[in-house]
A and B are shown apart, each in its own frame.
Chain A
Amino acid sequence: METPLESLSTVYSYYLKNYYRSKSFYLIFSLVIVASILMVFMSIRYLPKIDALFSSGGPVPAILKDKVVLYLWSYVMSDLPVFAAVFFSSPAISSEIENRTAFHIFSLPLDRSVLLLGKYLAAASASLISMAAFIVAEIATALYLFPDISVAPIFVSFAMLVVFILAISAFTFMVSSFFNKNIYSYITTFIIYFIVFDAANLILSILYNYNAFFLLDNAASIIPRIFLDVSPSVFGGQFSLNGAPLGNILLSLSVMLLYIIISLVVALVVFERKEVR
């Protein structure tokens, strides 16, 4: 038998292959390319109009221009992992039951924890790969428009993106572990992320003037906030022309890491007990 690490590597490589050959992958990849083209068009065509966004009357300094452009790119980018995760991770466990592949995979001498982890890493990698075009387009556009730009914040933003992909993938794995049908898994993930989280956010910020930092979508907002500390999703939230302070970055990072750990533990507990009738 293979060692757990060898098994993890085997599971990861074959699942990744199955993911990136799938129609879902090509669909999300195509959508990301369309989004990249639109963003490049927006950046080049409307850059001269950035001045009009600010009512100060004077010209916007160059350093703020690059921040605005990068903020807009990252703002769009921070929603893409949610769609990618829904495509790749939502059906991750439910599909094993619905498509009956569990009969094959469950009867192999393989710890379910290794199977879950290998599949999770493969789904997260597929999400990241599918977004590669957007990341490349963002860097290329930024360097073309602002040759003297500092790349450090861009890499911090990308690092946060990777953690967010891991967090949203773990969260959708957890949701998927409760269901035996993909459709329930898709719908539940969308409802939780786009309705429950938003509603909780609004209620807490409007009624209690409380910033729900522990919600995953708020933590993910750090991806664009690296450039400008603006949270349009938080009612009456902060607005700063500087990037988010280190404390906020670390807080968001901690929240996302907690989502990864808790979601994976819950998913594993449910997955270990999963039976295929």
Chain B
Amino acid sequence: MEIDISSLSKSYGKISALKNINLRIEGNGLVMFLGSNGAGKTTLFKILTSIVRPSSGTVRVDGVSVDSDPKKVLSKIGSLVEEPEFYPYLTGKELLEFTARIRGVKGRDVEEELERVSRLTDISDYIGRKSGEYSRGMKQRLGVAVAMVGNPGILILDEPTFGMDPGGMLEMRKVLKGMKMEGGRLIIMSTHLLEEARELADRTIILNKGVVSYDSGRKDGRVLVKVTGIIDPSFKPSNGTLVESGEGYSTFELSDKEFIPDFNRELMKSNSRIVYINPADELEKEFRK
């Protein structure tokens, strides 16, 4: 599976939700879009799922443009965008059946498919009830199950733990981990919770005010090192720069991880009083920006 996002922008009137996004997502695993509210995550997901059209730029899934052949693209994508709402007089089972049939699952396979996704998302207990009677957490789970029906190669999940109580969040993360463990698919998810990204993501992309401000999949070799202790004010590493300094710690950015031994050597030679050196939490630093 391969998603190619090229020069993608989206405006709602005078508001720019996405500004010239360029990304390439391929293979399996879980790619997490991290960002605060209004960062552009949901807009990006809406474009990926053909709910809105881009103002400019293209999104291609396995070489096919979402804009020109949405049906073909959507046959490869299962999605849960925003808080899920379903037809209130249909039961969870009927909604799953409906989705399965639209996705081309036929005959006895429908029952098997429903059994599989209900088990994975743990919704079997209430699948026979009308969705209008579901709580928010139940709807979220049903939404994930609906996204999984037909076993699409790409799953797009927009803040699937949003609005859940802590217990529900933990349960949902367990479900997501289970899906990740199952393998064989690309999961694209969004969150505004840093710990969720740390716990689940194979690759994290931070969106900030409609632009990509960080991508852990970017292979530019940069590395952050956090030094706890008192740093000699005259210390200047030959292959890096001081990027952040706080009470009792300093963070350096090195242009490549191969310079870490040199950095350590130079630091030892300086008049610094070091407690320990470890890789800095790059994600937190970028997210805080």
Contact surface of A with B, Cβ cutoff 8 Å? 1-2, 6-7, 10-11, 14-15, 17-19, 21-22, 99-104, 106-111, 275-277
Docked Cα-Cα span, A108 to B81, in Å, equals 12
Question: Which B residues lie at the A interface, using CB under 8 A?
Answer: 12, 46, 49-53, 71-72, 74-75, 77, 79, 81-90, 94, 97-99, 101-104, 130, 143, 146
- B87: chain A residues at CB < 8 Å are 14-15, 18, 101
| Residue among A2, A15, A18, A22 with the highest chain B CB neighbour number at 10 A | A18
How many Å from the CB of B47 to the closest CB on chain A? 10
Closest to B73 in A: A109
- Whether B85 lies near A108 (C-beta < 8 A) is no
Partner of A109, one of B71, B81, B86, B130: B71
Kindly provide the distance from the CB of B43 to the nearest chain A CB, expressed in whole angstroms.
Answer: 9
Q: Which of A17, A111, A277 contacts B89 (CB 8 A)?
A: A17
Nearest CB on B from A240, distance (A):
46
Most chain B beta-carbon neighbours within 10 Å: one of A11, A14, A18, A107: A107
Question: Which residues of A sit under 8 angstroms from B50, Cβ to Cβ?
Answer: 106-107
Residues of A within 8 A of B12 (CB): 277
Q: A2-B104, A14-B94 are in contact. Are A110 and B89 (CB under 8 A)?
A: no
Q: State A121–B83 Cα separation when bound (angstroms).
A: 28
Additional A-B contacts beyond A275-B53, A277-B12 (6; CB < 8 A): A18-B87, A18-B90, A100-B84, A103-B82, A104-B85, A104-B143
A41 to B102, CA, bound (A): 48
Q: Measured between alpha carbons, how far is A146 from B98 in the docked complex, in Å?
A: 47
Q: Evaluate contact between B82 and A100: CB separation under 8 angstroms.
A: yes
**A103 and B81 contacting across the interface, CB-CB below 8 Å:** yes
Closest to A101 in B: B85
Contact partners of B75 in chain A: CB under 8 A: 1, 109
